[in-house]
Amino acid sequence: MSYTGPGFDPPRPRRSRRGPLTVALAALVPGALLGWAVYAAVDGPGDGGGPAKASASVSASSGAPSPATASPSGDSGDRKPGASPTATAASPSASAPAASGPLGGKVVVIDPGHNPGNFEHTAEINRQVDIGTNRKACDTTGTATDDGYAEAEFTLDVAHRMRALLEEQGATVKLTQDADRPFGPCVDERARIGNEARADAVVSLHADGSGAGNRGFHVILPGTVDAGAADTRAIVGPSRDLGERIAGNFVRVTGSAPSNYVGGGTGLVTRKDLGGLNLSTVPKVFIECGNMRDSKDAALLTSGAWRQKAAQGISDGIVSFLRG
């Protein structure tokens, strides 16, 4: 997720040297995550530019079955910077036929952050929309790695991989957008898509645009908001459960550590300034899978093999949440 507005210029492509990757490993035992690789937390801005507050420690259940790990697109290698996201025929408003499985009857909405076309529609995405607590831009351009791999391409790729994994478990999966519209949707519409689908879980996919040296993932949980069109009181509890399970499984599958710059080493951050959360009436979280502006995190985010692990970890967390 970019800190910048729609006028943000994408970084000029340059080749970055990939340093050796050091990851923190955590092991899951039945019913609980035994340990976190805890990075030193440094106060810094959240995705909206304000300081983010740390929330409770992450936990995860090991009861979730692991779906197949093959890439749905057959792309198990690295994504080349600037390459197009995997094509798909699914419409964001139409469900794919659900297979029989443990998640039969469950609806999952995946919200790939931003849109590859947002850069060409700055006026439209700068339009202000009501998020309950105040008004914010319809959407933003998102960020990119120094080599030019866009956040919008990353989020679509992971969304496609997650859709295949969750449909194998029997879930009905919807995407809020699939690069099938010129820009957006706006943050209020993204929330509305999940609400109207009566989703059992919604996950908004992002990658951060913080400073170099800031590393790791974090899951953003909705804070308690009751203002204007926003009322999150009924979803705060289940959303936290969803977020904790996703964070724990993300560590287990990817080996990535929680953010070292927000969340106090827990991998969890609570926000009240995001329209996609404020306007949701169903359990919903955001996940920032890593920092695109750090070369070590960028090496992960641009790897097809790692993106498959990210999709697996997030999906396992959703499965664990839906199965209780």
Chain segment 193-237, per-residue pLDDT in tens: 999 999 999 999 999 999 999 999 999 999 999 999 999 999 999
pLDDT at residue 274 in the model: 98
Q: How confident is the model at residue 4 (pLDDT cuts 50, 70, 90)?
A: very low
Q: Please give the DSSP secondary-structure letter assigned to residue 13.
A: P
- Residue 92 falls inside a structural domain: no
- Residue 29 falls inside a structural domain: no
What pTM was estimated for this model as a whole? 0.76
90-99, 122-131, 212-221, 252-261: the lowest-pLDDT one: 90-99
Q: How confident is the model at residue 322 (pLDDT cuts 50, 70, 90)?
A: very high
- Residue 31 falls inside a structural domain: no
Q: How confident is the model at residue 99 (pLDDT cuts 50, 70, 90)?
A: low
Average pLDDT, integer, range 125-145: 97
Average pLDDT, integer, range 171-196: 98
The Cα 209–Cα 141 span in angstroms is 11
Q: Domains in the chain: how many in total?
A: 1
Whether the Cβ atoms of residue 239 and residue 323 lie closer than 8 Å to each other: no
Beta bridge partners of 218: 288
Helix (H, G, I), strand (E, B) or coil at 107: strand
pLDDT at residue 100 in the model: 79
Q: What are phi and psi of 219, to 5 degrees?
A: -105, 130
What is the pLDDT of the chain when averaged over all its residues?
80
Residue type for 300, please? L
The DSSP H or E segment spanning 124 is helix 122-125
- Residue 230 falls inside a structural domain: yes
- Residue 43 falls inside a structural domain: no
Helix (H, G, I), strand (E, B) or coil at 19: coil
- Residue 275 falls inside a structural domain: yes
Chain segment 241-294, per-residue pLDDT in tens: 999 999 999 999 999 999 999 999 999 999 999 999 999 999 999 999 999 999
Q: How confident is the model at residue 126 (pLDDT cuts 50, 70, 90)?
A: very high
Query: In terms of DSSP bridges, do strands 53-54 and 32-33 run parallel, antiparallel, or are they unpaired?
Result: unpaired
Can you give the residue range of the structural domain that contains 220?
Answer: 51-65+101-323
pLDDT at residue 96 in the model: 52
- Residue 131 falls inside a structural domain: yes
Average pLDDT, integer, range 40-56: 34
Q: How confident is the model at residue 162 (pLDDT cuts 50, 70, 90)?
A: very high
- CATH classification at residue 246: 3.40.630.40
DSSP string over 146-162: TT--BHHHHHHHHHHHH
Percent of the chain with pLDDT over 90: 69
- Residue 274 falls inside a structural domain: yes
Percent of the chain with pLDDT over 70: 69
Q: How confident is the model at residue 78 (pLDDT cuts 50, 70, 90)?
A: low
